[in-house]
Amino acid sequence: MKIGELAKKTDCSVQTIRYYEKEQLLCTTQRSDGNFRLYDEAAVEQLLFIKLCRNLDLSLSEIRQLLTLKRSPGAQCDQVNRMMDTHIQQVETRIQELVQLREHLKSLRRSCSSERTIEQCGILQTLTTNQHQKR
Amino acid sequence: MKIGELAKKTDCSVQTIRYYEKEQLLCTTQRSDGNFRLYDEAAVEQLLFIKLCRNLDLSLSEIRQLLTLKRSPGAQCDQVNRMMDTHIQQVETRIQELVQLREHLKSLRRSCSSERTIEQCGILQTLTTNQHQKR
DNA sequence: GCTTGACTCTATAGTGACTATAGAGTTTAA
DNA sequence: TTAAACTCTATAGTCACTATAGAGTCAAGC
Ligand SMILES: [Zn+2]
Ligand SMILES: [Zn+2]
Ligand SMILES: [Zn+2]
Ligand SMILES: [Zn+2]
């Protein structure tokens, strides 16, 4: 199948597929006489695997590592598990940061009502006067 | 003061300051004889304002809008408030996405223990076999 | 055989918010 | 005077794409 069909089957843009090839995540083994990329079912599966990993927010470099590991079936799981643990930890950290940010934003938002002018704006005042608290 | 001193005072890198100038967030009004940028206390305050906004994850474009608003003190607060509300909503959405992602990652992680080989890896199996569930 | 349209190719630039160079010029202190 | 420390501009890199431009390929219909 040609790249357009692979794109449709995997719900992935044609440019993205070519980008993954450039990034060594998906190699095109065959080309047609007219130099068109040709793919088989294994390519569909590999691309779907990549998509699932991207949905888990794994980076392309992490996915590349996973694909390499998949090709050495005798190896131990440690590396996969460590990657997952690190990844989960990063997501956890980001959630905590965002929760704090949300509370900060909400309290800032409470310092202003719509009827005011910019001059009296609690939000801008807070953001500005904080700067003068040098002690 | 020169750019290095401004950088130290605001805990901001020299390149970032120059970048903000290029992005019209901080204009350099004066230059020395040797073409060095010169700043005053107002620049320190503006840069600190920008930093506070960045800590709130506001985009440079949003900060540019806030700076413009700050310069028209008679205007109403609506625009500021709308920006904050939108921003809070986006943070909220992102938190929910990440919480779901975390749960997904955790359940995936539970499908494997370190003693296994890649061949038996529950994580890789889940990511791979999902692809065959075409119905 | 020819045209039209849909597809594909490569190469390049853009996104956002920086960071990191290279290669030049300026200032300051010893 | 010379060395170090600073500054200047311009350019490229980061990440995971997305969007062009300009060319070539292919299949159907006339
Ligand atoms: Zn990761
Ligand atoms: Zn306000
Ligand atoms: Zn925003
Ligand atoms: Zn495993």
Segment B53-88, tens digit of pLDDT = 999 999 999 999 999 999 998 899 999 999 999 999
CA pair distance A77, A47, nearest whole angstrom: 22
A37: buried, middle or exposed (CB in 10 Å: 19+, 13-18, 0-12)?
Answer: buried
Q: CB-based contacts of A35: which residues, under 8 Å, 6+ apart? A: none
Q: How long is chain A? A: 135
3-state secondary structure of B6: helix
Smallest CA-to-CA distance from A48 within B123, B100, B134 is with B134
Higher pLDDT, A18 or A29: A18
In DSSP terms, which residues pair with B30 in a beta bridge? Answer: B38
Name the nt closest to B16 by C-alpha to C1': C18
3-state secondary structure of A31: strand
Could you identify the residue written with the tokens 């500005």? Answer: A128
Average pLDDT in chain A:
92
Neighbours of ion ligand 2 (CB under 5 A): A 112, 121, 123; B 77, 80
- The pTM assigned to this predicted structure is 0.88
Q: What is the pLDDT at residue B115?
A: 85
Residue B95 predicted with pLDDT over 70? yes
Across B5-21, average pLDDT: 97
CA pair distance B109, A45, nearest whole angstrom: 22
Cβ distance of B116 and A76 shorter than 8 Å: yes
- Distance in angstroms, CA of A48 to C1' of C17? 31
Identity of the residue in B52, B99, B109 whose CB atom sits nearest the CB atom of A84: B109
Residue A114 predicted with pLDDT over 60? yes
